[in-house]
Amino acid sequence: MLSPEDLYWAGRLTLVSRPDEIRVYDRVFRGVVDEPPVQIRVRVEEDDVALASPIELLRTKSFAQLTEEELAEVAELMKRVRLRAPTRRTRRREPARAGVPDLRRTLRRSFRTGGEPVERAWRTRRRRQRKLVLLLDVSGSMADYSRALVLFAHAALRADTRWEAFCFGTRLTRVTRALARVDAEEALRRAAADVVDWNGGTRIGESLAALTQTGIPRGAVVVICSDGLDVGDPELLREQMGRLSRLAYRVVWLNPLKENPAYEPLARGMRAALPHVDVFVSGHNLASLEALGREL
């Protein structure tokens, strides 16, 4: 049986690959050795690792169970997540190896060959990444997840200055500017200060109506982070979700309650919204948000 010191160094040499992971490993290790004594036997011939990676533990731990220290560490890990929205063809064209003939460039090139169009030029439509719009439910029922999701939005918006973030409870609040700040904690404080209905009720239909009136979702990928526990009119929610699905390129819904394999969308708000949702996934931990990039 290994001594605690031997176990510490064996785990550290095996599991830690970066200097910034040492502090996380130390905290997890202390949590293990502070438990009531457990007889841990390590056999050399086995490949099983005594401890899971500290980073992996944070990636798979539900946001609802994170301590303040762990939330700060997850916020740092979120900076590594890179979301890429689908691209769209613009009206502008650019040089290409194939496509439609570029008569002007072909003519210019022909001057080098005595006016003969020996070297032909082509052009095609330029592609540009679509806009991403994040809608974050910060009502009371989402209290265990809202701070982590706002921190994720802060990290995500760094990918493209055209992307937008909104918080909603009983009303819609744009937090794009608040989240533009470099420091994550300061951005979270500014966003919370801007949202007057944080930890209040939920009226998703009214919030979506305010969003669609702006035209911002047109052609965008819209990601809604909500448990769907709505106190508003389900018919209004159904109507506005239909309008949003026609306006947007894709509608993705993250519901942290979907973490439970037995979860069923029985809430009236979620039932009203689902027929207009293209992708319905969980968003309860960092690993599920990392997988979001494959769903966009």
Three-class SS state of 153 = helix
Q: Say if residues 166 and 132 touch (Cβ distance below 8 Å).
A: no
Q: Is the pLDDT higher at 84 or at 76? A: 76
For 49-74, the pLDDT digits (tens) are 445 688 889 999 999 999 999 999 99
Task: Check: pTM over 0.95? Answer yes or no.
Answer: no
Give the Cα-Cα-Cα angle 221, 227, 232 (nearest 5 degrees).
95
Three-class SS state of 142 = helix
Residue 139 CB coordination number (10 Å) = 24
What average pLDDT score do residues 247-253 get? 97
Question: Which amino acid type is present at position 159?
Answer: A
Question: Which amino acid type is present at position 184?
Answer: A
Flag the least confident range among 115-129, 187-201, 257-271.
Answer: 115-129
Is residue 125 over pLDDT 80?
no
Architecture of domain 132-295: 3-Layer(aba) Sandwich (3.40)
Is residue 228 over pLDDT 60?
yes
Show the tokens assigned to 143: 């209290």
Sort residue 114 into left (φ over 0), alpha (ψ -120 to 50) or beta: left
For residue 149, give the nearest of 80, 203, 71 by alpha carbon. Answer: 71
CA distances 106 to 99, 100, 110, 114, 126, Å, are 13, 12, 6, 13, 19
Q: What is the residue extent of each domain of the chain?
A: 4-60, 90-129, 132-295
Query: What pLDDT band is residue 2 in, cutting at 50, 70 and 90?
Result: low
Show the tokens assigned to 92: 């502008």
Q: Say if residues 224 and 248 touch (Cβ distance below 8 Å).
A: no
> What pLDDT is attached to residue 20?
65
Report the C-alpha gap between 271 and 284 in whole angstroms: 20
- Parallel/antiparallel/unpaired status of strands 122-129 and 100-101: antiparallel
What average pLDDT score do residues 283-291 get? 94
Is residue 43 over pLDDT 50?
no
Backbone torsions φ then ψ of 212, nearest 5 degrees: -65, -30
Q: Say if residues 253 and 280 touch (Cβ distance below 8 Å).
A: yes
Sign of CA dihedral 278, 280, 284, 285: negative
